[in-house]
Amino acid sequence: MDLTRFPRRRYTEGYTPIEKLARLSAVLGGPEIYIKRDDLLGLTEGGNKTRKLEFVVADALDRGCDTLITCGALQSNHCRLTLSAAVKEELKCRLIIEERVPGTYNPGASGNNFLFRLLGAEKIKVVPGGIDEVEEMQKMAAEAESEGRKPYIIDGSNASALSALGYVACAEEITAQLFEKGIHIDHIVCPSGSGGTHGGLLTGLLGTNTDIPVAGINVRRSKELQEEKVSDVVKRTVKFLDIKSDVPKDMIVCFDDYYGPGYSLPNDKMIEAVKLLARTEGILMDPVYTGKAMAGLIDLVRKGYFKKSDKVLFIHTGGSPALYAYLETFLPEK
Ligand SMILES: Cc1ncc(COP(=O)(O)O)c(C=O)c1O
């Protein structure tokens, strides 16, 4: 696939590492688990949104925009990284922050909320959960225009076909790395939220003719709804790239047993997974996405979903700054 036809900014030097998780694999008694360290991507504290923003911010710059506007939850990694990209590009950034659970917004909270301030968001507007975010961003953009700015709106889920190119590129990167290392991977596991990462990976693997199955671990929706969402991302991205074939329906696989009691709310398996990764590999997961996705991987291992001889690659999509807003979930040690 020729992705060079799309303007792209580069925020990471070279590839992110693929590392073998030898101690975790030993503790679980196999399979052999590897990790793609997208938590080490560029921009502030890395994570999957960095890859998506490379294409989206390039588009904003191409259009001569000077102010990025986006939205997200109280601990949004997407908002942190959009703001970080704006800093790097000498753009301004304004954020709509959605208080999804009433009464939970705390302007002094740590984690990403602290970073919104440290990185110098030009404006932060906190709105109640369930509000029409698109309308709010449009209002914010109109306000910026009235001040003589040229705003660029990035949708909160950042799951457009353009942003999905980030994980199409990542699939190409992974196949090149595995070839160099001489490793054959049997399964990929990743978190599945807006579906941009999951759908982008599936599209990229299709485009490189690589049929590694990808298991998405849902962070906020039922299996049925999430598989539809991922399928929609794949369809739009395949069309955008003008790929002639499609990802077969049975290759779109999501698991919904690990996000309860709801989006961003802690559960015991997530806590176990975050602690296990910290204490076997010294790697930080986050409570909302990768902690739950890793909990899914661990449970699938225990249920015998993988063969002991398999090699499984986990995509670490970042998010660890949110850990510092969840101290009471992990401490004091019980
Ligand atoms: C750290 C982290 N991991 C995973 C995801 C989910 O990725 P996607 O929205 O591409 O499905 C997000 C989305 O916000 C995220 O911030």
- The model's confidence at residue 157, banded by pLDDT at 50, 70 and 90, is confident
Token representation of residue 171: 């699939």
Q: Which ligand 1 atom is at minimum distance from the Cα of 322? A: 1
CATH number for 3-47+160-330 (one of 2.40.30.10, 3.40.50.1100, 3.40.605.10, 3.30.360.10): it is 3.40.50.1100
Give the distance (Å) from ligand 1 centre to CA of residue 65.
25
Please choose from 44, 197, 297 the residue to mutate so as to test ligand 1's pocket, defined by most ligand atoms within 8 A of CB: 197
Buried b (16+ CB within 10 A) or exposed e, 80-108: bbbbbbbbebebbbbbbbbbeeeeebeee
* pLDDT at residue 1 in the model: 84
Q: Which ligand 1 atom is at minimum distance from the Cα of 318? A: 1
Q: Which ligand 1 atom is at minimum distance from the Cα of 319? A: 1
Rounded Cα–Cα distance for residues 89 and 189 (Å): 32
Domain residue ranges in the chain: 3-47+160-330, 49-154
C-alpha pair distances (Å), 311 with each of 9, 27, 39, 298, 317:
32, 15, 21, 14, 19
- Share above pLDDT 70 across residues of the chain, in percent, rounded to a whole number: 99
- The model's confidence at residue 285, banded by pLDDT at 50, 70 and 90, is very high
Omega prior to 332 cis, within 30 of 0: yes
- pTM score above 0.95: yes
Rounded Cα–Cα distance for residues 316 and 308 (Å): 22
Q: Do domains 3-47+160-330 and 49-154 have the same CATH topology?
A: yes
Give the distance (Å) from ligand 1 centre to CA of residue 190.
9
CATH of domain 49-154: 3.40.50.1100
Average pLDDT on 181-198 reads 97
pLDDT tens column, 206-259? 999 999 999 999 999 999 999 999 999 999 999 999 999 999 999 999 999 999
* pLDDT at residue 159 in the model: 77
What is the identity of the amino acid at 213?
P
pLDDT tens column, 236-250? 999 999 999 999 999
pLDDT tens column, 112-136? 999 999 999 999 999 999 999 999 9
pLDDT score of 191 more than 80: yes
Token representation of residue 59: 């588009």
Which residues' Cβ are closer than 6 Å to ligand 1? Answer: 47-48, 77-78, 157, 191-198, 286, 289-290, 317-319
**Residue 110 annotated in active site:** no
Rounded Cα–Cα distance for residues 70 and 157 (Å): 9
Long-range contacts from 269-274, C-beta under 8 angstroms, 24+ separation = 269/295, 269/298, 269/299, 270/295, 271/329, 271/330, 272/298, 273/297, 273/298, 274/323, 274/330
Our separate counts of H helices and E strands in the chain read: 11, 10
Strands 252-255 and 311-316: unpaired
Catalytic residue among 76, 194, 264, 320: 76
C-alpha pair distances (Å), 136 with each of 97, 121, 127, 201, 257:
10, 17, 9, 31, 33
